[in-house]
Amino acid sequence: MIDYLKLNKAILKDHPKVNELWVQKIIAEDPAIIGLGEIELKDKERKQPRAGRLDFLFQDENNCRYCVELQLGKTDESHIIRTIEYWDVERKRYPQYEHVAVIIAEDITSRFLNVISLFNGHIPIIAIQMNAIEINNQIGLQFVTVLDETALQTYSDDEDTPTIVDRAYWEGKATKATVGLADQLLEIINNAIDHNIKLKYNKFYIGLERRGLPNNFITFKPRKDYIIAQPRLVQTQEYDAMLEEMKLDVLDYDQRGRCYRIRLNKEEIQKHSDKLQVLFVEAESKFNK
């Protein structure tokens, strides 16, 4: 039997040793903990013209920017207004990017959740509740999305200006072996579609290019022990059934990127190369239609 451990929730607003700067530092060092995916910190305490300072500005692999406001304690009117105001300032200053407003608070009450939901659909806004758990004089933070955004534009490669890196960057971030898995998958693509397709190394993913132009009908994300292949396909029962038949680990379907996220190792690529080829050909034909 496993012993039960009762968790004690801490209220950081009234905590004698913890303040908002401490929480900001934790988030800045590990942005993934807030649950927005693989994001990069662009700025902290970002000065706004005549409007104070934005707690965080993050950016994801699709060049979407997240304007994040953090509040200890309960959400209040001024917090919501400030979050939307900062979002509006950023989107007007940098219209080439997509922007999402994000509220993080310890307590997002049903009243304010209803208020926030009124904006959702017109303003892309996310509400995240932060829970602090105290164990043995240590504090852990848990972030739960209680309202997701719905008013996002469709991702477009034509508007994408990713940070270019080299192969060595990915070999350092993952391993030489897992970056080599991208070569194996590229070989399947070359044999089935076009030998002019090559890998293109970006900061958040390894994409594809054809005759010097981006052609990301599939992107790759090497990890330490495996690679994630992301064919751009509309989710259907047929594709779901095919992947289930192969018994592959499908991490999820990315609604925004419109792609499957498939975890693969060397043996799986070799074993299922024929069916992977079918998926890749489908992705290419629909992406470039």
Residues of the chain predicted below pLDDT 50: 150-160
For residue 209, what are the contacts with CB-CB under 8 A and spacing of at least 6? 197, 198, 199, 200, 215
Token pair, residue 251, equals 């991490």
pLDDT tens by residue, 191-208: 999 999 999 999 889 999
Tell me: the pLDDT tens digits for 4-31?
877 788 888 888 888 889 999 999 999 9
Is residue 67 within 8 A of residue 53, CB to CB? The reply is no
Residue ranges, comma separated, of all CATH 3.40.1350.10 domains in the chain are: 8-153
Residues 6+ apart with CB under 8 A from 44: 24, 28, 55, 56, 57
Per-residue pLDDT at 286: 87
Q: Round to whole Å and give the CA distance between 14 and 90.
A: 32
Report the DSSP pairing between strands 259-264 and 227-231. antiparallel
CB contact at 8 A, 239 and 259:
no
pLDDT at residue 75, rounded to an integer: 85
Residues of the chain with CATH 3.90.1150: 161-287
Amino acid at 287: F
CA distances from 175 to 50, 172, 180, 251, 253 (A): 46, 6, 8, 20, 25
Pull the structure tokens for residue 93.
């200053």
Architecture of domain 161-287: Alpha-Beta Complex (3.90)
Q: Beta partners for 58?
A: 41, 66
Query: Residue 195 CB: number of other CB atoms within 10 A?
Result: 9
DSSP notation for the chain: -PPP---EEE-GGG-SS--HHHHHHHHHH-GGGGSS-SEEEEEEEEE-TTS-EEEEEEEETTSEEEEEEEEEEE--HHHHHHHHHHHHHHHHH-TTSEEEEEEEEEE--HHHHHHHHHHTTTS-EEEEEEEEEEETTEEEEEEEEEE----PPPP-GGG--PPB--HHHHHHHS-HHHHHHHHHHHHHHHHHT-TTEEEEEBSS-EEEEETTEE--SEEEEE-SS-EEEEE-----HHHHHHHHHHT-EEEEEETTTTEEEEEE-HHHHHHTHHHHHHHHHHHHHHHT-
Question: Are 65 and 98 a contacting pair, CB within 8 Å?
Answer: yes
What pLDDT was estimated at residue 152? 40
CATH topology of domain 8-153: Trna Endonuclease; Chain: A, domain 1 (3.40.1350)
Please report the pLDDT score of residue 149 as a whole number. 64
Residue 153 pLDDT = 39
